[in-house]
Every structure is written in structure tokens, then in C-alpha cells.
A and B are shown apart, each in its own frame.
Chain A
Amino acid sequence: MMLGMALPAFSQEDPVEGAKVFKRCFSCHMVGPDAFNRTGPVLNDLFGRRAGTVEGFKYSDDMLREGAGGLEWHPDTLDAFIENPKVLVSRTKMRFSGIKDPVDRSNLIAFLRQYSDSPANIPEADPTIVPRDPDVDPEILAITGDPDYGAYLSGECTTCHQVDGGDEGIPSITGWEPVDFVTALHAYKNKHRKHPVMQMMAARLSDEEIAALAAYFQNIEQ
């Protein structure tokens, strides 16, 4: 019971505190009645919006692909994206390392929620507390992959992803920084990203195997 009393205090989302956190965003993003697209898109009416759909903003191919694949902005996806943008969208234009403090994130989300057209209509399924932590464990990122093993495993990738770096319809995966590669595959493995083929492929890859693939593809020239 004592614990139950303590929880709301921790999970309370404070838009006023969120406005302070937003200072880390506003060199690129605007929000409010007079907002327009700058380096990043306008953040009004964000909740329930399909990723990559703000009119007039030129998104990265990866953001457009995720949007077409079903990525929508809800508290859980926003939380993951703000924590580490590359978890959800590998080559997003948002060059931002992320906000690691979960309280800051939930306050920021509460702040942004005020600019959604009808916050009362946000589906109840959208949790106010985000229970997940999609960013990749540093220990996993620290694994050194065996490129020879990666070369063998890559056969499963190259049926679809072209080794010469061609990216019509299916993204290129050559020449990536291992941290981005590993982050992306773990996001599929943990189902933070939706693509069913990639969820299936990643599901049976161990942490070592993902590191091996990252080590192999890193050195394939585009």
C-alpha cells in the first residue's frame, strides 16, 4: 500500500516541467499556433499521427518507410523515439542522441500532448506510463562481432538486401555503423519496430549473431 501511494508521484506527468525539457528540441522543432516546419517538422497534432506525414516536410526515406509500415506517434512510440531516435528509424534526419531520463521524457510527452487537437480523444489504449525501455543495453552494444560468422549469416539478408547497396523498395544495410545496425535489429527483435519479415528474421538472431552481422556489413562498401 505504501508503494501504491508512492507510484503516482513518480509517474505524474508534468507539462510545465515538460516545457523546460522542450528547450532541448526547439532549435529544430516548433509547436503551437504559429508553428511552421524548420529543420524538423511541426509537432502540433502529433498524437495518433502516422509517422512521416506532415505536409511540406521532407523526411528521410527511412521515416517514410516506417510510416508506410504503420508507425504512429503514441506515448509509447514517442518515448522510444525520444530516448534514442535510431531505435525506431535508423537513418532519421533527427540528429539527436536522445533524452535518457524517463521522467524528462514523460514530462515532455505531457507537454506535447497539450498541442494535440483534442487530447481528450487520445485513445485510452495509449498508456500514460510507458513501461518499456527500448534502448539497447550497453553490454549488448559492446559485443565484438565475428565478421566470418556474419558473412555466413548474411546469406539470409542478401536474398532481399542488395550487397551492392541498391535500395529500391528495401533499404541498403551496407556500410552502417555497428551501433546503428545492432540498435535496429534489436528494435525488430523486441518488436518495437513493426515490419513482420524483419521481426521474424531478428527473432532468432542471438546478441552475438547480431553483432557478427553488424561487423560483417560494416565493411561492405556501398
Chain B
Amino acid sequence: MKMNRRGFLGAGVATAATLSAPMVLGASHGKPKVVVIGGGAGGATVARYIAKDSDGMIDVTLIEPTRTYYTCFFSNLYIGGFRDFASIGHSYGTLAAEYGINVVHDWAVGVDRDARTVALASGSKVPYDKLIISPGIDFVDGAVPGWDVSAQNAMPHAYKAGSQTQLLKAQIEAMPQGGTFAMVAPPNPYRCPPGPYERVSMVAHVLKDINPTAKILIVDPKPKFSKQGLFEEGWQKHYSGMIERIGPDFGGNNVSVRPGSMEIDIDGEVEKVDVCNVIPAQKAGRIAELAGVTDESGWAPVRPQDMRSRMDENIYVLGDASAQGDMPKSGFSANSQAKVCAMGVRNVLTGSKTFPARYSNTCWSLIDTDDGIKVGASYEATDEKIAKTSGFVSKTGEDAALRKQTYEESVGWYAGITADMFG
């Protein structure tokens, strides 16, 4: 029902966005202008909160290339068959229609920080007083030798949700009986720390059903990973003998791929595989780099109080792209940061009240049907960084009722956060 409404409004968005785009450029000189690049958990939330709480005092433009946004969170559940693809897709109809946000479906290709304009692929320029960049991730060139984006059809990353996710799912379902699914896992830091391991769980869930003799091979440069004990317990319980992980002790940090022949070279040992999910090392989405707000780490350093760039006082960076301290790169984190940022931006532009920053995060993962786990923490802004204050994690050996409840809670969270992002 909800999706139908969204879908219906979505048809209207395209029109609203196209019509309103030229108006952005010329109209309303008097009002302060906020431009948001990226319509995900950071960008959609910050646009919505600024528009919602400023009572029309601030012009908000949201630049996002896709008309339907597929959330990376829960895309693994689509791979596992627990969600259909449409259920993780969201349009910008409500943000445009009910919140008055100028939604522009275009690529931001440059930022002129002196003139304070954002250049779009279509050729226009959008002026801003404050710019919020929330572009998510891009991949580090050459991170996995032999792989680049031109190889993403043979070896999908599926780490930005959308057609890549559909492709990976189709490849898994088409694997020969007894075949091998390989994942090249990323080094830290990367988007969604438990994400690769939840994905392995979901792939195993599918294969156990349709291809029970298949094997899963994780090639991992990290000695340990998020919720490791919980995942390994779950894999033993549900998918015994199916999953093998090669960590750095056994060459997992020395890997190259040959997409043409579907081979992986692990520290000199060549494996032929049937599906290869390459998740390369990551950096801030390219527009952050083009805007000149990233440092040598590839991420954009920000002030912990309000997510303002340390390089430019008129720019804020949210979510995965930011280097802020202890928070993991997750949709929940980006959403949390967006609300603090929205308050800060409104204060600077309209003098509205501010309160001390408070951040939080929880990441749920699904191991198998009704077997959900979670990890979370709360954070505060110190002078130096966003610092963790307390946290919790699911425990091994929890009973089935609690795990089922944890999964159901994650479904509730999905409904909550997407409503918080898209209205």
C-alpha cells in the first residue's frame, strides 16, 4: 500500500523536478539557499529536516541522479529472497510535493567554492549559501589488481544498491551445481562493516536451498570483522561446511582477479570461481574529492559538532564520505549525522536554536530466517572527533525468540528510517 502511494507520487516527481529545476537557479534571491548533493540516508534526511523545520525560510535543493533510490541497507535481504526489489526502492515524490524541496535529478560534476555554485552534468550551475555533500562511497582505483568498474558486470561489487544488486542475485541463482561463490572483502574503513558478512549469510541461505553442494569462499584482507563471533556461530549452525574464509594469515591480503577467465589469485594460488563479488577498498564519493574537501585518506574530515568540513566553512559532509571519528559508515549513522547537521545549518542561516550534538547507530544483520543480530553505540562530539560513549552487541547463544524479535525489529527500523528520509 505504502509502496503504491510512493510509486504513484514518484511518477509525479520527475515532472516536479524537471519543472522546478530552472526555477531554483533564478528565483527567491532573498532566502538562504542550501544545496544537498546525494539523496541517500544522509542527503535525503538533511534536506527533509531543513525544509521541515525552517518553515519555508530556507530554499532546499536536492541533487540526486536516480529517480528511484534503492537502499544499500536491506539490499542483502533482497539477495537472500527476504525482500522484493521494489520494497527497497524509494522515490522523492513526498520530499518534492510535501516539503517543497527542489529535487533535481542530475549529476553534480563540480563545485566552485569561491563562486559557491555546483555544476551539473546538464550544464547548469546551482548557487548555494551552504552546501551539504552526502555522496556515499566510490572505489579506490587499483585496490584489487585486475578489477576496475569496466569489469563490474563479470565481477559485480553490488555495493551501491541497484542494477548491480540485481545482477549479483541473478548470477548466484544461475551458478552451476556445486559451484563456487567468491567474495573479495574490503579493507577498513568501508561502508557497512557487517555488510559483506551478512551478504555471505544471505548467499548461503539461497544456495542451501537451490544449490546445496555449492561453496562460498571469502578472501579477506582483515584479520577480524564486525560481529565475527556471531556470524561464525550462525554459519556453523545454519550453513555448516559451506563457507570458508581466507584471512590475511593465509594470503587474503594479497589478491588479484582475472574477470575474463573468472579466476582469483590468492597469494599465488589460482582459484577458478563461478561468481565473484569484488568489494574493493573505498573512499569518499567522487564529488567530495572534486570539491576539494577530502584529504590524503580519501575521506572528508569534518568537525564533530555539526559535520562541517574542516576545509571549507560553507560545506558540510555527511555519512560514508566523512571522516568523523568513531561512527561506522552506515545508513543509520548518516541519518543521525544529518539531523545534527540540519540543526547546525539552520542555526547558521536563520539563528534557530541549537542543542549539543548527539549521535547514535545500530546495525542489524540477518544470518538466516528469523535469526537476526545487532550491534550499536551512542556517540558524542569531543573537540577532536565523534567519540563512542557506550555500545552493545548481540550475544552468541541467544534463544530463537530473541533472534526472531531482533529480525522483526530490523524490519520496523527499515520502515522507520525510510520514513525519516523520504517523508
Distance in angstroms between the alpha carbons of A70 and B390 in the assembled complex: 21
Q: Which residues of chain A are near B413, meaning CB under 8 Å?
A: 159-160, 169-170
Residues B411 and A158 in contact, CB atoms below 8 Å apart: no
Q: Which residues of chain B are near A166, meaning CB under 8 Å?
A: 412, 415-416, 419
**Stretch of A122-130, A199-207, A214-222 with 4 or more beta carbons under 8 angstroms from chain B:** A199-207
Residues A161 and B416 in contact, CB atoms below 8 Å apart: yes
Residues B419 and A204 in contact, CB atoms below 8 Å apart: no
Q: Which residues of chain B are near A68, meaning CB under 8 Å?
A: 401-402, 404-405
Q: Which residues of chain A are near B376, meaning CB under 8 Å?
A: 196-197, 200
Residues B49 and A203 in contact, CB atoms below 8 Å apart: no
Q: Say whether, besides A69-B405, A156-B360, A197-B374, A162 and B392 are in contact (CB < 8 Å).
A: no
Residues B335 and A169 in contact, CB atoms below 8 Å apart: no
- Among A62-117, those with CB < 8 Å from B are 65, 67-70
Residues B336 and A159 in contact, CB atoms below 8 Å apart: yes
Residues B390 and A162 in contact, CB atoms below 8 Å apart: no
Interface: A155 (CB within 8 A): yes
Residues A156 and B358 in contact, CB atoms below 8 Å apart: yes
Q: Which residues of chain B are near A70, meaning CB under 8 Å?
A: 402
Distance in angstroms between the alpha carbons of A162 and B411 in the assembled complex: 12
Which of B339, B412, B417: most chain A CB closer than 10 A? B412
Residues B358 and A163 in contact, CB atoms below 8 Å apart: no
Residues B353 and A148 in contact, CB atoms below 8 Å apart: yes
Q: Which residues of chain B are near A155, meaning CB under 8 Å?
A: 49, 336, 339
Q: Say whether, besides A70-B402, A155-B339, A160 and B417 are in contact (CB < 8 Å).
A: yes
Main secondary structure of the interface of B (DSSP, over half): helix
Q: Which residues of chain B are near A161, meaning CB under 8 Å?
A: 416
Q: For residue B135, give the distance in angstroms from its CB to the closest CB of chain A.
A: 21
Interface: A164 (CB within 8 A): yes
Interface: B254 (CB within 8 A): no
The number of inter-chain residue pairs (CB within 8 angstroms) is 93
Q: For residue A145, give the distance in angstroms from its CB to the closest CB of chain B.
A: 14
Q: For residue B145, give the distance in angstroms from its CB to the closest CB of chain A.
A: 39
Interface: A152 (CB within 8 A): yes
Interface: B120 (CB within 8 A): no
Residues A162 and B419 in contact, CB atoms below 8 Å apart: yes
Interface bin, chain A = 20 to 34
Residues A164 and B358 in contact, CB atoms below 8 Å apart: no
Query: How many chain-B residues does the 8 Å CB contact rule pick out?
Result: 34
Residues B417 and A196 in contact, CB atoms below 8 Å apart: no
Q: Which residues of chain A are near B411, meaning CB under 8 Å?
A: 168-169
Interface: A59 (CB within 8 A): no
Distance in angstroms between the alpha carbons of A69 and B405 in the assembled complex: 7
Residues B420 and A159 in contact, CB atoms below 8 Å apart: yes
Q: Say whether, besides A68-B405, A197-B362, A156 and B390 are in contact (CB < 8 Å).
A: no
Residues B378 and A159 in contact, CB atoms below 8 Å apart: no
Interface: A149 (CB within 8 A): yes
Interface: A167 (CB within 8 A): yes
Residues B378 and A170 in contact, CB atoms below 8 Å apart: no
Distance in angstroms between the alpha carbons of A50 and B400 in the assembled complex: 13
Residues B415 and A168 in contact, CB atoms below 8 Å apart: yes
Q: Which residues of chain A are near B49, meaning CB under 8 Å?
A: 155
Residues B401 and A158 in contact, CB atoms below 8 Å apart: no
Interface: B391 (CB within 8 A): yes
Contact indicator per residue, chain B 351-382, by CB within 8 Å of chain A (1) or not (0): 00101001010100000000000101110000
Residues B389 and A159 in contact, CB atoms below 8 Å apart: no
Q: Which residues of chain A are near B353, meaning CB under 8 Å?
A: 148, 152
Q: Give the residue name and chain of the B residue nearest to A50 (CB).
A: B401
Interface: B271 (CB within 8 A): no
Nearest 8 CB-CB pairs, A to B?
A: A169-B412, A170-B412, A155-B339, A196-B392, A68-B405, A169-B408, A160-B416, A68-B401
Chain A: residues with CB nearer than 8 A to chain B?
50, 65, 67-70, 148-149, 152-153, 155-156, 158-164, 166-170, 196-197, 199-201, 203-204
Chain B: residues with CB nearer than 8 A to chain A?
49, 332, 335-336, 339, 343, 353, 355, 358, 360, 362, 374, 376-378, 389-392, 401-402, 404-405, 408-413, 415-417, 419-420
Q: List 24 A-B contacts (CB under 8 A).
A: A50-B401, A65-B405, A149-B355, A153-B358, A156-B336, A158-B419, A158-B420, A160-B417, A166-B412, A167-B412, A168-B411, A169-B408, A169-B415, A170-B409, A170-B412, A170-B416, A199-B392, A200-B360, A200-B377, A200-B392, A201-B378, A203-B378, A204-B378, A204-B390
Known: A50-B401, A197-B376, A201-B360. 9 other contacts (CB 8 A): A69-B405, A155-B339, A158-B420, A168-B411, A170-B413, A170-B416, A200-B378, A203-B378, A204-B378
